[in-house]
Structures are given as structure tokens and as C-alpha cells.
Structure 1
């Protein structure tokens, strides 16, 4: 993955998060406080506002700079969680000018471990990890289309889980029956990346 392709992916994530502000907020309002969509959208708007000024020395540096903006601009618990994901992915990328598929998977695994530590959560706690981890495994095994399918199936499956972390954890059994907003956000974002990836054409 080149620098331009890295930019493409992050921009798709940002624009999709903004477009889905109401949807993500509605999902979160079932058992959370409903601010997830708003927080995510405002944070990624800030990222796009300063888009041209982000350091593009290499993909890793770019992702770390994105992580800093996200951490400082997204409200609530989402900022540190999503920001940590970008920061850890960027750190794992090192100073490579281009990233192999294996490096991208390693970056995602680093992001997952960072999110686990920051959120004191794990797969099975009904968080974004429940979509991010299976998506990463599918990406490693079968590529981007498979990753999108895995993320959607995993996000849908969170409806049967009881939340153990975040605001939703206070609702206990009442959290069963609704999908986790963070997990569904991962699914929607990865689906959009998979759909639009062919459009970036010669982004190398």
C-alpha cells in the first residue's frame, strides 16, 4: 500500500463516518448515550479540515498524525480508542515508504492490541473489537472483500452479546438484542473501503 493509497483509505473512513453520523448515533442510543455518531463525525471533520497539513513523510507518520488529531478531537471514550488504533497502526508501519499486505495486517493487529489495552476490553465484550479482530483475520486469509463480509457478519453477531464495557455495560442483559455501534461502524467503514478501492485506480 502506497502513501496515496493510505490517504485514500483514511479519507474514505473519515467521509463515511461523517455520512453515517445519524445511523451510528441511533445505534448507540439503544443502550449507550447516543453520542457515538456525533463524536466520530466531529473528530473526522477536524481531520479533514487539517487534511492538507498532515505530515506525509510516509504512511506510518501520516497515520500517527491522524491518530493525534482523532484522540484530541473525538469526544468521550471514542477518541482515545479510535486514536490509539491509528497511532498503533502507524507505529507498526515504521518508516516504510510502501506497505505490503502482511504489514497492513500486522498494523491492524497492533491497533487491536492497543485498543484492548486502552479500553481494558477484549473480543467478546461487545465492542468494536468484535468486528475488528475477525475482519483482520479475514483480510489476512482472503483479502479485502472477505474482510468486509467478515466484519458485517461479526457486527451483526454482537446483537446476541451482553455488553461488558462502556456505557452499554450498565444495561446488562438489556444490551442483548441490539448490535454494538462501534462494531457496526467498523463493518460499514470496511464495506465502503472494499466498494471504493477499485476507484483509486492508479493511486500507486
Structure 2
């Protein structure tokens, strides 16, 4: 595994962490519409820990690095967010162990691992109005772009655009998981906070890509 592979993954994770910390209030406000409002706080506390411990993480390879991130998040984030995000990083780490280079196909495998982990841990699936409703279709789109021979830049842009499109589309759905599900039909008309947060995070990663 090349140093470039690790550098790219480090960039994406660091950007994610910075966005989670900087957007604490925005993510919390989104979540407060039909949820319990703790999404921003939970993510910010977890990724503050990631940023604080950044230089101490082992960087033997991408899988090891992602495993360290998972442990840092799980140790700090409370509520439902910690187990879900921790599991996502652990599953992405497991997928990274099976490849020799982090190319587009490997990224798809890591994203599939992450979403499968979230499904299992959160007992959720497509249609339940969660971040999965943005991330799974966006991963499908990334896979299509790769199969069509799109450039890395076009793949990233399509991935971000699809995430945003699908996150916004969760406004039409009724929440079936998490605190928002208690609102029933009242959850229709507002997007899922987790899906929008993921869209914002991915847009930032793509916009700042080195």
C-alpha cells in the first residue's frame, strides 16, 4: 500500500473530523427539528478526540489507521452515533485489509463495508430515513461512474452530488429509526439530519481535495 493511499485516506478523515467539529451547531439544529438534537454534539465530541489524538494514531497501513479512528470515536461518542460511526470505520478498515491499493474499487468496497455495518448496528435499511438513504445510492453512483471510466475528479463530484440529492430527498420520507421515528408523519417535510450531515461532510472533502 502506497504512501499516497494513506495520505488520501488521512485527508478524507481529517476533513470529516474538522467539518463535524465546525458544524456542531448546524448539525444539532438539523437534528432538533424532529430528533433529539444531539447529533451535532455527539459528532463534534467524537471527532474532537480524533483531532486531538491525530499524531498518535498508528499508520502502518490504511486498515490500521481506520481501526484507530474507530476506537477513538467509539470511546468518546455517546448515544447511537458512537456505535454507528465506530462500526462504520471498523467495517471500512476490514475492507481495506483485503486490497493492495486504495483505488476507486477499494473505496466502493470500504463504503459498502461502512454502510453494511451501519445497517447491522442500527437495524436500519434503505427507506428508513437515515444517512443510509444518502450514502448507499451515492456509493451506487460512484460504482457506476467507475464502471463507465469516469475520471477520479468526475467520480468524486458525482458522488458528492448524489449524496446531496438523496439527502435532500429524505424530506419526503417518514422516519422509521431513531428518535425522529417517534414523530411519525410529522417527520415528513424535513430532511434526515444524519443524511444532510453526511452530504455536507462529503461536499467539503470533494471541494478541498488536494
Name 1:180's counterpart in structure 2.
Answer: 192
With structure 1 as the length reference, what TM-score do the two structures score?
0.94
TM-superposed deviation, 1:97: 5.8
What do residues 48-72 of structure 1 show as CA deviations (whole Å, max 9, x unaligned)?
A: 0000000100011101110111112
Name 2:173's counterpart in structure 1.
Answer: 161
Query: For 2:29 and 2:41, how far apart are their aligned partners in 1?
Result: 10
TM-superposed deviation, 1:141: 2.0
Moved over 3 A (4+): 95-98
- Give matches, 1:99-178, under 5 Å: 99-142=102-145, 143-178=155-190
CA contact (8 A) 2:9 2:62 kept: yes
Query: For 1:11 and 1:95, how far apart are their aligned partners in 2?
Result: 23
Query: For 1:16 and 1:140, how far apart are their aligned partners in 2?
Result: 25
Query: For 2:101 and 2:109, how far apart are their aligned partners in 1?
Result: 14
Q: Secondary structure at the match of 1:31?
A: coil
- Give matches, 1:56-135, under 5 Å: 56-94=59-97, 96=99, 98-135=101-138
Q: 1:97 to 1:47 in 2, by over 3 A?
A: farther
Structure 2: runs of 5 or more not aligned:
146-154
Structure 1: runs of 5 or more not aligned:
none
Name 1:18's counterpart in structure 2.
Answer: 21
Query: For 2:32 and 2:129, how far apart are their aligned partners in 1?
Result: 15
CA contact (8 A) 2:156 2:206 kept: yes
RMSD: 1.1
Query: For 2:103 and 2:207, how far apart are their aligned partners in 1?
Result: 20
1:36 maps to which of 35, 39, 47: 39
Query: For 2:141 and 2:64, how far apart are their aligned partners in 1?
Result: 26
What do residues 168-194 of structure 1 show as CA deviations (whole Å, max 9, x unaligned)?
A: 111100111111010001100111111
With structure 2 as the length reference, what TM-score do the two structures score?
0.92
CA contact (8 A) 2:99 2:106 kept: no
What do residues 46-98 of structure 1 show as CA deviations (whole Å, max 9, x unaligned)?
A: 11000000010001110111011111211210010111111100111006563
Q: How many residues align?
A: 198
